[in-house]
Amino acid sequence: MIPSHAAAPWEGWLYLTTVIDMAWRRVDRCEADHLRTELIDDALSNAIAGPMFSARGVSFHPDSGC
């Protein structure tokens, strides 16, 4: 069973967002202690800032938690 809350004050959740570049086989990630829009925005910004990024032909597909 997955707990719905942290068991103690020093324990908490870590949210991980990944962006996978299928063309360059590269994974960018971003972690935070919250699940807000800023986490997704930071992950996409990190991916776009990469040295091999080209916006040409880009498509983004979220997994919607599946």
Confidence of residue 38 (pLDDT cuts 50, 70, 90): very high
Q: pTM of the predicted model, to two decimals?
A: 0.62
If you average pLDDT over residues 51-57, what whole number do you get?
A: 67
C-alpha to C-alpha distance for 13 and 28, rounded to whole angstroms: 20
- 44 against 64, higher pLDDT: 44
10, burial (CB in 10 Å: exposed 0-12, middle 13-18, buried 19+): exposed
Using a pLDDT cut of 90, give the percent of the chain over it: 5
- Do 32 and 15 contact (CB within 8 A), yes or no? yes
